[in-house]
Amino acid sequence: MARIVFLLISALLSGPVLAQDLTFDHVETEECLVNMGHGDNKADCIGASAGSCMQQPGGDSTYGMGFCLDGETQYWDGTLNEAYQQLRAVRQRSDAELPDNLAVQADTLRDMQRAWIHYRDARCGHEASLWQGGTGASPAFMQCMMQLTAEQALYLLALYSGEG
């Protein structure tokens, strides 16, 4: 997290970016997750690929930061959606074995996820508003989206694996 904040601040002081030269690869994040030891905090991997992307020439510009943060957000969003679908299927099977008045796990999971989406959007909108229309608003919004999406993905993965 501190690394991303540092990169965001340093990016505001940099020059223009050549969009065609930037590439995003989620390998840093995946390697971080794979190399986590038992009991390590997987949230420490959030931003690994975006941070690596921002170290490319032009990656520290406002446009570059947005590109890199969006790339990692998309990675986490895919992870989140896969974990949600798998977890929902598990909860539906569990609900099928329960009396109707107790068969609510799949529905409460869906309701929680819908409420989380509204919370994420509102919180990240607020984060952007703190920049009062300045050029940092977009990277602040994207950083928030990446962070919260990754945290929710990790939460759903933990629930699915029985760790949550």
Q: Which domains does the chain have, with CATH numbers?
A: 2-161 (1.20.1270.180)
Per-residue pLDDT tens for 71-98?
Answer: 999 999 999 999 999 999 999 999 899 8
DSSP state string for 76-95: HHHHHHHHHHHHHHHHHHHH
Rounded average pLDDT over 112-127: 97
CA diameter of the chain? 62
* Percent of the chain topping pLDDT 90: 73
Report the pLDDT value the prediction gives residue 19, as an integer from 0 to 100. 52
**Which pTM does this prediction carry?**
0.83
Rounded average pLDDT over 123-131: 96
Q: Give the span between the Cα atoms of 125 and 63, in whole angstroms.
A: 18
pLDDT at 155 over 80: yes
